[in-house]
Amino acid sequence: MLLAIAAVAVGLGSGSCARNRSDITIAYRGDVAAYRQLVRVVLDTGPRARTVTPAFPSAARPEPIGTSGALPITVIMLSAADTIARYSPPPLALAPGTSYVLSVIVSARTPSETRCTGHWAATPIVRNGAIPGDPSATAGTLYVSVTQGKRGEETPDCEE
């Protein structure tokens, strides 16, 4: 009997633990597949940093993250070994039971805000060897958005 009560207590505890976990999905949106392999998202800093290549929404999977503190994020776009665009949103203020979605798109025009993406931050893509300040050096724009919601809630269909 005591063993059964302990098993129920452990089962209940792990269920609430699972609900309190947080995660982040990193999704590449848009129709220009050639750019996706050039984009890297770095989560955290120092020895805990991990680099992720965004997946298209249908292949993007939530990755576990902490439930407290701040999570620095850097989105970079590479050309050969050179960084041609970099954007760092404000660090995420992590909370228990939260799902975050970081969306990335490369485009010549501003993407529309949707309930899946929210507001887009824009960073110009500057060609290798370009002279700083030369307007003709810009080769499109790297757009990044971060949204959050309660973990486990039904999410809208965001296949784009």
Domain ranges for the chain: 22-150
The dihedral sign for the CA sequence 109, 75, 145, 34: positive
Closest CA to 138 of 108, 103, 112, 111: 108
CA–CA dist 128, 94 (Å, integer): 36
CA–CA dist 72, 90 (Å, integer): 7
pLDDT on residue 108: 84
Q: Which pTM value belongs to this model?
A: 0.79
Give per-residue pLDDT as tens, 83-110: 999 999 999 999 999 999 999 999 888 8
Record the tokens describing residue 117, joined without a space: 């993406």
Query: Which residue, chain included where needed, has tokens 């309930």?
Result: 115
Contact 38, 67 (CB under 8 A): no
pLDDT on residue 15: 52
Q: What is the dihedral of CA 68, 143, 33, 80, to 10 degrees?
A: -90
Query: Residue 35's pLDDT band (boundaries 50, 70, 90)?
Result: confident
Distance of CA 20 to the CA centre of its chain: 19
CA–CA dist 146, 68 (Å, integer): 17
Closest CA to 92 of 64, 122, 66: 66
Q: What is the mean pLDDT of residues 24-46?
A: 86
CA–CA dist 98, 111 (Å, integer): 25
Give per-residue pLDDT as tens, 111-160: 989 887 889 999 998 877 666 666 666 678 999 999 999 987 665 565 55
Edge-to-edge order in the sheet of strand 82-87? 50-52, 39-43, 73-79, 82-87
Q: Percent of the chain beyond pLDDT 70?
A: 75
